[in-house]
Homo-oligomer: A and B are copies of this chain.
Amino acid sequence: MPIVSDEYKEEKKEKILDSAFTCFAKKGFETATMDDIVAHSGMSKGAIYNYFSSKEEIYLDLLTRATEKNFIQYNKHFAKLRTSISKIDYLFNVYLAANPIDRERLEFVVVFYEFNLQSSRDPQLLKQLKDRKKILVDLVENIIIEGQNRGEFKPHFQAALYAERFWTIIDGVNLHSVYEDFPYYDVLRELKDLYLNELRSE
């Protein structure tokens, strides 16, 4: 008979993660302190350590959840779509719909890419990161293969490579969106058209 429900605990965890995200976004992982998170969350230091055993664990959980959330969201939407082309189209549109100068989105991008870079120094983190990336690459790769089977896409393309290219483009554009006057929408729009035109069977 637990004192509090699992929902209660999950809520607390999310509250901590929310505060942590805000702090990491504002200052970066290294620079943000546990005291920052304590102050922002309004919880006590001990309480936070009851839910996470280290600052790094918070960081990891944050990223894991973000990935999962996106993945679930994508798949959920794909269920409503018939053609493969509309799925790729949808993925591009997710990023095209984003407001490149939206503060919150930008913060997320920064925290997220910093994590990527940071992890290049830690084999354990890198492993996790690669797992995550594989999930996303596979997602696109499967759409492409499906599209090739359905005759929507050129059959001779290497699906895996083409999937890699998709995320390369997305990440390149995202990264550049930290520059205030980057023509995010125009560049991404063009790259999308290029991507889809090349892929489509004539």
Residues on the B chain within 8 Å of A182, using CB = 164
Closest CB in chain B relative to A99 CB, distance in Å:
15
Q: How many subunits of this chain does the assembly comprise?
A: 4
Interface residue? A62 (CB, 8 A) = no
Question: In this assembly, does A96 line the interface, its C-beta being within 8 Å of a C-beta of chain B?
Answer: no
B113 near A178: Cβ-Cβ < 8 Å: no
Of the candidates B30, B113, B179, B187, the one whose C-beta lies within 8 Å of that of A175 is B113
A42 smallest CB distance to B (angstroms): 15
Whether A173 contacts B172 by the Cβ 8 Å rule is yes
Rounded to whole Å, the gap between the CB of A161 and the closest CB of chain B is 6
Nearest CB of chain B from residue A165's CB, rounded to whole Å: 5
A28-61 at interface with B (beta carbon < 8 Å): 28, 30-31
By the criterion CB–CB under 8 Å, are A175 and B172 in contact?
A: yes
Contacts of A156 in B (CB 8 A): none
| Shortest distance from the beta carbon of A108 to any chain B beta carbon, whole Å | 11
How distant is the Cα of A100 from the Cα of B160 in the complex, in angstroms? 18
User: For A28, what are the chain B residues with a Cβ–Cβ distance below 8 Å?
Assistant: 30, 117-118, 121
Instruction: Determine if A176 is an interface residue (Cβ-Cβ < 8 Å).
Output: yes
- Residue from B129, B130, B169 in contact with A169 in the complex, judged by beta carbons closer than 8 Å: B169
A7 contacts which chain B residues (CB < 8 A)? none
Docked complex Cα distance between A110 and B119 (Å): 10
| Neighbouring B residues of A175 by C-beta, 8 Å | 113, 116, 168, 171-172, 175
Contact B191 A176 (CB under 8 A): no
In the bound complex, CA of A117 to CA of B117 (Å)? 10
- A91 on the B face (CB < 8 A): no
Q: Are the C-beta atoms of A164 and B176 separated by less than 8 Å?
A: yes
Q: Within 8 Å of chain B (Cβ to Cβ): is A180?
A: yes
> How far apart are A133's CB and chain B's nearest CB, in angstroms?
6
User: Does any Cβ of B come within 8 Å of A75's Cβ?
Assistant: no
